[in-house]
Amino acid sequence: MKLTHRFTRRAALARMMIAGSLALCPLACSQNNAHTSVPPGTPVIRVLLAENAQHIDIAATASPSVNTGPGSSETQLRFAPGVPATITLTPAGWKFGTASLPRSELTLTPASDGTVAIAKHFYHGRFRFIPVGPDRFDVVNDVDVESYLRGVLRQELFPDWNEETYKAQAIVARTYALYEAHTDGVGRQFDVFDDQRSQVYGGIDAESPRSRDATFETAGIVVAYGSPGRETIFKAYFSSCCGGIGQSVTDGFAESELPPLRAQSRGNVCAQSPKFNWGPIVIPKTEITRRVKAWGVAKKHPIKDIGPVARIDIQGVNQFGRPVRFVIADSAGKKFLLRGELMREAVNTDAPQNAPKIFSSFCKPVDEGANIRFADGHGYGHGVGMCQWCAQAQALKGWNDEAIVLSAYPGAKLVRAY
């Protein structure tokens, strides 16, 4: 796998992971089919549940214990069943209902798994409360990846979708989470967000029989790429609907080219998606200007200084005709080149509730005087990697999870990580 210098460290970390605690083996290697809740050696994923919080409600059906760091004693917290307690942080320490605890990282361990709710949602695993300011803190859920996946799948797929779609999604989501844990997660207090910045995670409340079965039946299986015996996992991107043409990870996210994440033309496979075709969507130029400037400020991008937006034009397409680069020009003729996903993000930034937004960058912006009309829209999301609506269509045609995943990531293979 050829990587630029920028991604050499990530590749090395992935190899270290595979050579160590997650040694990969072909699917033909022996499997333990005993119905256990979590396979031995299952890695832990650290999920950011709350960021920069001032307070948060906690409830428990059995009294959990808490400690404030290595060497500290365990303190049992008393909860009235079903009655939440509020935790806050002050410069002097933690306030937990009527209890006071020293100021440091706080670890809360349930009396038994799944008996603690954070902000009204129950989760597996334990919880860390991490000070990030005088009165602000993050909440991180440390949970084994299999239990994590059970709370992801139904959030990412429709409840009645085919079991093979669910199993394919389990393999992909597992790969994505483990890759994040050993790349972006290194050097910070968490591995993944609980929302669309990573994968949507709803904890125990979001589990279903189908999500549990799919997780169990694919336990430990990931998708990897490389020469035989040297396969490594990669960031297994996925999105809702490719609109018939996906884009490469290079065009989508400016990441190094990787064969399983190249652009693909899929025709009308995902045509049943309500977003396979969309538009036109009309947005006033004054509103686009406001949004784009707000995006520029948030991202510290030079486009923050753009004048009144005059037009948006396609600057480049991929080999199958999907737009991948756009130029946004202001009334003074100043131009800014953006990749398609950055254009979509900028145009949708800070949009008021129920205000028009575009569903993908697979569209054609048209100048209409005071407005820009986004016409010929296709797909929903970035279009890199697996298309969920394609996966569902393939499952309904009788494809199994392995065939679906390998179709989404050409040249890759399924291997067992643990």
The length of the chain is: 418
Phi–psi pair at 9, nearest 5 degrees: -65, -40
Cβ-contact 154, 210 below 8 angstroms: yes
CA diameter of the chain: 68
Residue 33 has pLDDT above 70, yes or no: no
φ/ψ of 112, rounded to 5, equals -150, 155
Where do the DSSP E strands lie in 104-246? 106-109, 116-118, 121-123, 126-131, 137-144, 192-193, 221-225, 232-233, 238-239
What pLDDT, on the 0 to 100 scale, is given for residue 24?
A: 59
pLDDT of 34-51, one tens digit each?
334 687 789 999 999 999
* Sequence-ordered alpha helix ranges (H) in 218-337: 249-253, 285-299
Percent of the chain surpassing pLDDT 70: 91
What average pLDDT is seen over the chain? 91
What percentage of the chain carries pLDDT values higher than 90?
84
pLDDT tens figures, 51-67: 999 999 999 999 999 99
Element at 215 (helix H, strand E): helix 209-217
Burial class (CB in 10 A: 0-12, 13-18, 19+), 159: exposed
The 10s digit of each residue's pLDDT in 98-141 is 788 999 999 999 999 999 999 999 999 999 999 999 999 999 99
pLDDT at residue 4 above 80?
no
Q: How confident is the model at residue 27 (pLDDT cuts 50, 70, 90)?
A: low
24-235-405 Cα angle (round to 5): 70
Long-range Cβ contacts of 193-197 (<8 Å, 24+ apart): 193/47, 193/48, 194/47, 194/48, 194/49, 194/141
Instruction: Give me the mean pLDDT over the 229-243 stretch.
Output: 96
**Range of lowest pLDDT (92-101, 103-112, 224-233, 310-319):** 92-101
Across the range 302-317, mean pLDDT stands at 98
Least confident of 57-66, 76-85, 247-256, 393-402: 76-85
Q: Which residue has the tokens 């429709």?
A: 158
Count of CA atoms in the C-beta half-sphere (13 A) of 113: 11
> Residue 203 and residue 197: Cα distance in Å, rounded?
17
Residue whose pair of structure tokens reads 């992971």 in the numeric block: 17
| pLDDT reading at 16 higher than 80 | no
Q: pLDDT at residue 10 above 70?
A: no
Q: Supply the DSSP string of 315-365, one letter for each residue.
A: EEE-TTS-EEEEEEEETT--EEEEEHHHHHHHHHTTPPTT----S-S-SEE
pLDDT, mean of residues 205-231: 96
The rounded distance, in Å, linking the Cα atoms of 57 and 52 is: 14
Buried-exposed string 221-231: b where 16+ CB fall within 10 A, e elsewhere: bbbbbbeeeeb
- Residue located via tokens 């939440």: 84
- Beta-bridge partners for 76: 65
CB 215, CB 163: distance < 8 Å: no
| Residue 15 confidence (pLDDT) above 60 | no
Spatial CB neighbours of 300, under 8 Å, sequence gap ≥ 6: none
Angle separating helix axes 163-181 and 401-408, nearest 10 degrees = 50
Helix (H, G, I), strand (E, B) or coil at 102: coil
Q: For residue 170, is pLDDT > 80? A: yes
Tokens representing residue 85 in the block? 């307690």
